[in-house]
Amino acid sequence: MKRLQFWLEKFEFTFYFARKREWMLVSEEWKMTYEEMVEAELNSYRIYREACRRLLKAAEEN
């Protein structure tokens, strides 16, 4: 049980650290607000699909 608790705490810390670093990058370098970051995360799947579609189209043309 202690081992499981250790890994859960480690995961929680890693998740928090990654989220904090992502927010620092977005707010300082890209000058985005928190709401804009959340909106971008929600739209990321649509953006990835569009990027893949454009790459496939360019590959077919060449």
The residues spanned by each domain of the chain are: 1-31, 36-62
Higher-scoring residue by pLDDT: 29, 53 = 53
Stated pTM of the model: 0.39
CB 32 within 8 A of CB 26: yes
Q: What are phi and psi of 24, to 5 degrees?
A: -65, -45
Gyration radius of the chain over CA positions: 18
- pLDDT one-digit tens code per residue, 6-40: 888 877 877 777 777 777 777 777 777 878 878 87
